[in-house]
Structure formats: structure tokens, C-alpha cells
Amino acid sequence: MISKTTIQRINEEARIEDVVGEFVKLKKRGANLLGLCPFHNEKTPSFNVNPARNIYKCFGCGKAGGPIQFLIDYQQLTYPDALRYLAKKINIEVEEEAVSDEAKLKEIEKYNLVESIQIANAAAQKFYTNHMLQNENGRIGLAYFKERGFLNHTIEKFQLGFAPDGFDSFTKHALKEGFQLEVLKKAGLTSSKENSTADFFRNRVMFPIHNMTGKVVGFGGRIMEQGEPKYLNSPETPVFQKGLELYGLFEARQAIRETGYALVTEGYMDVVALAQMGFPQDVATLGTACTPTHVQKLLRQTD
């Protein structure tokens, strides 16, 4: 459990303009900052950030709060996760207070489905990457990326990987690591039919899709052989809807703000290749049309 001293330091040192500014493009308006609200679609900015009071307030939808509340509302983080995110951001060491086994169990039980899915996705990303880099059978994926000209630092930056051709290689691994089958299914990592289970992604090079805090919310996989679909996205889950996400936005957000514009491309390969060639401000839709939400997300980063 995070100590009260750490919580107090975070509340005192976390700045609302820095936290909101990581996700929303803000413009100076007198003593305050103004931007498009991230909680509802709007054309005229009504989202107000007050640095003096260290709060935000949307005069359109009514959302309001401080740095911690913003992360809870916008990124669907729990209170402890929001605290840890802010502590890392402002370089505060998190002190943990000793708690009883019963208290630990209660804290674990508080983890909801969204967090369980994100934890499973993080484990899947690590599995796919490690399989490609450390397993002889996974070298086919690495060879494919190398053939496309991707350098090691690019592969590492985008956390690329390879899903093995085995029927349930990842599922067996995840179950052995203690993940519940129901969570794997709801995360879109495992599919089931009657009494059998199988990996959703098999024999595909893998592209993790990150949200704006860097958490893996889904995947895109390209088939290694002939077949359809050529590209396969994660099914929609409580943390992933392809019409709402842009591949590469997490990696590109800083470059978009620095250059003042974003490049919108067709697919995963375009984003990775352009970033390596010196255009890190590019993003891609996930095999779907560009939606109003996509545009809203980009407008929060640049005009």
C-alpha cells in the first residue's frame, strides 16, 4: 500500500498543466490554459486548466478534478495506478507501507477487468517479443522485419514480436504464469470453441498498440504466409476499439507537438518505416476509416 507521505508529496508536486498537457494540446488563455475536452467531442474548446488551483474543469460536460482524477477518468486507471504513474513522471520514489495478507488480498480483489486485461496484454507483448528474439522458431519473425529494413532500435522502440505457429503456445504459457482463462479470452488473446482453446494470433509478426500512457491495449498481426486476413487486429475489448485508436500515437505524440503536424498513414509498416526514416510524427488507422474520434485525438496534439 502506498504510504501517506508519498501520496502527500504527489499531491503537492504533480502539476495539472503537465499531466493534462501530455494528452491534450493546451493554449494559453490569460492565467489559464484552454483545449478541446478529452471526455466529449466538441469543436469549440471548453476544457479549462487552472495552474494556480491545480485543477481542470470542462464547462461543456462538467468533468473536473486534479491530476490524479484526470488520470483516473481519462486513462481508466485505479487510484493506486494513477499515483504510481505520477510518481514516476515527477521522479518521486514510492514508499510502500506494510500491510497484512488480508489487506493485500483485498487490494488484489479491487483490480477490475480493465486492469486484468492490460496486465495480460503486457505479458503477451513480452511473450511475443521474447519468442522472436530468443527462440529459434521465432527467428522467422525477426528475419521478416530485418528484410523490411527495420533496425534493432526500431524493433525495440515499437516492441515488435512474433506469435508462434503453435495452436495454443501463448495460452499455455499464460495459464502457467497464473493468468485466468476468462481474462485471456476477454482480452482477445485466446479464443475458445466448445471444449478447446486456441491462441487468437498464430504465425504472425506482432505490432502492440499502446494507449496514451503507454499501456498495451491490443495488437495487430501480419500473417507470414499466404492467407486471409493479411492483417488481423485484436477483437474489441473493454480497453480496445479500433475505431478509437491510432497506431503509433503514443510513440509519435512528442514529435507531433514539436513539428506542429501529424502524418496519417495506412498501416503498421508505414508508421514503423517512416519513424525509422526520420518522420516520427506519423500514426495509422487500424484497417478502418478515419473516424471523428481519430481526428479529435490528433487535434488535441496539433492543429
**Of 89 and 101, the one with more pLDDT:** 89
Amino acid occupying residue 60: G
d(CA 283, CA 273): 11
Tell me what the mean pLDDT of segment 14-40 comes to. 92
Distances (CA, A) of 59 to 17, 39, 64, 66, 69: 17, 11, 9, 15, 17
- What are the E-state strand segments in the chain? 27-29, 32-35, 47-50, 55-58, 64-65, 161-163, 190-193, 196-199, 204-210, 216-223, 231-233, 263-265, 282-284
Give the three-class secondary structure for 196: strand
Work out whether the CA dihedral 266, 269, 275, 276 comes out positive or negative. Answer: negative
pLDDT digits (tens, 9 = 90+) for 34-57: 999 999 988 899 999 999 889 999
pLDDT band, residue 106 (cuts 50/70/90) = low
State the pLDDT at residue 112.
Answer: 67
pTM for the structure as a whole: 0.75
Most confident residue range from 85-94, 202-211, 282-291: 202-211
pLDDT digits (tens, 9 = 90+) for 56-86: 999 999 999 999 999 998 988 888 889 999 9
